[in-house]
């Protein structure tokens, strides 16, 4: 890069540029009430409103419905979204979308809802066999050949940043692990990011989603630098996630300082409007950042953890269903990963620790991994996270299965700042078993 940073100097054969995609976003208390005018401005006459069962009868969906009605936009509600969606639940949503005869979509919910809406819109707009667009090597990884319909995303959690990304994540049941679909065409057209929604969030959801946001920012900054990306495609074939770049660095650093300052406050006190608003903003910034930079090891490893979890339930998530909240599965691998990757870019790991409020005074490059891991462990304990994978029932006996689930996550793992093989993956899981 010609302007500022030696990290981004061109290397032979490297890409000459990076592309950042994002929706038109509006941030502020009360902006859910702008859904109707936004839809009308896009020329929409009839939309499918995606949400989940818990939210369907609540105030956020009511506000969006009223706004659509006031703008004379017809709305059919789909509230069968599965929390932590699967290939089956996405296909069912796509079937309903195809039959709904709508000209656009509105999603009101967390990552599960927004991701389901993106996939339903995709398969209804560009029909194909399900695995066609799923990331290679798990799916065929084919490019989405044409546009999808307009999508207004209204996040109700403060973590995934899905309102800004071209990513839809789901569990592939046959593989017992998560994977996804990624395309710039999936980036919502408009994001209405209303921090008022966070007032009703259970503490556990604030904690898990907040750590998801933290990890998006950390992984953006520590990802392989974009001039060193392994995929040489350029121009319109440039991948959505291209590695660390100056734009995502700036947004991710800002998100980390909000996480360091506000996450624990937001978890502990639902009436702390300042903290919950800051976390909502941080999640959006980190979403824009990681969409362009890409995630890597903590997410890649988490996809195996969430696929293999058994008998685990967290309050605030649907009853009667085993699931590990996405952000929880991601943060449990964090300290282990940073201790291992810091040597590749100690400066960047120290920058992350500093932004999060870690004790970096006098820290040398050799301390970078430990300082960052230490600060994250502090935040995990303060926010009530489990003490490593052991707390979830994993042990030495499951390390092999976890590695098998993580290995095919090639899209994200290759974005790590170091090369990783099965032995390293096993070592990382082992080091994530217990932290204190």
Ligand X SMILES: NC(=O)c1ccc[n+]([C@@H]2O[C@H](COP(=O)([O-])OP(=O)(O)OC[C@H]3O[C@@H](n4cnc5c(N)ncnc54)[C@H](O)[C@@H]3O)[C@@H](O)[C@H]2O)c1
Binding site for ligand X (CB under 6 A): 52, 54-55, 83-85, 109-113, 115, 156-157, 159-162, 165, 167-169, 197, 200-201, 205, 209, 212, 317-318, 326-327
Which residue number, 352 or 363, has a Cβ lying nearer to Fe ion? 352
Comparing every residue's Cβ against ligand X, the nearest one is: 111
User: CA–CA distance from 339 to each of 112, 420, 428 (Å)?
Assistant: 30, 14, 9
User: Six-digit token pair at 41?
Assistant: 């401005």
113 binds, among Fe ion, ligand X, none (CB under 5 to 8 A by kind): ligand X
- Tell me which stretch binds Fe ion (CB under 5 A): 187-195, 207-215, 370-378, 421-429: 207-215
Nearer to ligand X, 14 or 91 (CB): 91
Question: Look-up: residue for tokens 């490019």?
Answer: 143
Q: What is the CA radius of gyration of the chain?
A: 20
Residue 211: CB minimum distance to ligand X, A: 10
Query: Token pair of 182, please?
Result: 């990624």
CA distances from 178 to 408, 426, 427 (A): 10, 18, 21
Stretch that binds Fe ion, among 2-10, 40-48, 208-216, 303-311 (CB under 5 A): 208-216
CB closer to ligand X, 56 vs 402 = 56
Question: Can you tell me the distance from the alpha carbon of 100 to that of 46, in angstroms, rounded to the nearest whole number?
Answer: 9
Cβ atoms of 47 and 75 closer than 8 Å: yes
Give yes or no for a contact between 295 and 218, defined as CB atoms under 8 angstroms apart: no
Greatest alpha-carbon pair distance for the chain in Å reads: 62
Using the minimum distance from each CB to Fe ion, give the nearer residue, 15 or 212: 212
> Of 195 and 260, which CB lies nearer to ligand X in the complex structure?
195
Q: Which of 196, 212, 249, 278 binds Fe ion (CB under 5 A)?
A: 212
By CB under 5 A, which span of 96-104, 205-213, 361-369, 374-382 interacts with Fe ion?
A: 205-213
The residues near 127 (Cβ < 8 Å, ≥ 6 apart) are: 98
Dist. CA 147–CA 284, nearest whole Å: 24
Q: Does 219 bind Fe ion (CB under 5 A)?
A: no
- Which is closer to Fe ion, CB of 212 or CB of 367? 212
Residues contributing to the site for Fe ion (CB under 5 A): 212
């Amino acid at each position: 890069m010609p302007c500022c940073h030696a990290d981004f100097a061109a290397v032979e054969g490297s890409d000459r540029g990076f592309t950042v995609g994002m929706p038109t976003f509006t941030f502020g208390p009360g902006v859910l009430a702008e859904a109707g005018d936004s839809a009308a401005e896009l020329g929409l006459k009839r939309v499918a409103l995606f949400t989940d069962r818990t939210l369907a009868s609540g105030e956020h969906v009511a506000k969006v419905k009223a706004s659509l009605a006031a703008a004379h936009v017809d709305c059919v509600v789909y509230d069968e979204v599965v929390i932590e969606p699967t290939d089956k639940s996405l296909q069912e949503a796509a079937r309903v979308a195809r039959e709904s005869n709508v000209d656009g979509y509105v999603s009101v919910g967390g990552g599960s809802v927004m991701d389901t809406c993106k996939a339903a819109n995709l398969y209804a707009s560009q029909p194909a066999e399900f695995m066609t667009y799923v990331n290679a090597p798990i799916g065929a990884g084919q490019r989405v050949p044409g546009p999808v319909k307009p999508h207004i995303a209204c996040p109700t959690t403060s973590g995934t940043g899905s309102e800004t990304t071209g990513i839809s994540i789901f569990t592939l049941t046959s593989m017992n692990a998560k994977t996804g679909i990624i395309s710039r065409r999936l980036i919502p057209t408009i994001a209405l990011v209303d921090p008022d929604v966070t007032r009703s969030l259970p503490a556990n959801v604030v904690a898990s989603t907040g750590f998801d946001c933290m990890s998006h920012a950390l992984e953006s900054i520590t990802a392989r630098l974009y001039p060193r990306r392994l995929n040489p495609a350029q121009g319109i074939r440039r991948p959505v996630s291209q590695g660390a770049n100056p734009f995502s660095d700036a947004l991710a650093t800002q998100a980390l300082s909000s996480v360091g300052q506000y996450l624990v406050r937001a978890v502990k006190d639902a009436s702390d409007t300042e903290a919950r608003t800051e976390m909502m903003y941080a999640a959006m910034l980190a979403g824009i950042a990681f969409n362009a930079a890409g995630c890597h090891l903590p997410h890649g490893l988490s996809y195996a953890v969430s696929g293999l979890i058994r008998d685990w339930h967290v309050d605030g998530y649907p009853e009667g269903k085993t699931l590990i909240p996405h952000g929880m599965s991601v943060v449990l691998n964090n300290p282990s990963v940073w201790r291992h990757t810091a040597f590749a870019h100690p400066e960047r790991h120290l920058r992350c620790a500093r932004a999060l409020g870690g004790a970096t005074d006098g820290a040398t490059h050799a301390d970078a991994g430990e300082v960052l891991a230490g600060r994250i462990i502090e935040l995990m304990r303060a926010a009530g996270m489990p003490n490593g994978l052991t707390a979830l029932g994993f042990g030495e006996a499951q390390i092999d299965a976890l590695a098998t689930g993580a290995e095919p996550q090639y899209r994200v793992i290759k974005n790590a700042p170091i090369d990783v093989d099965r032995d390293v993956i096993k070592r990382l899981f082992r080091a994530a078993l217990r932290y204190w």
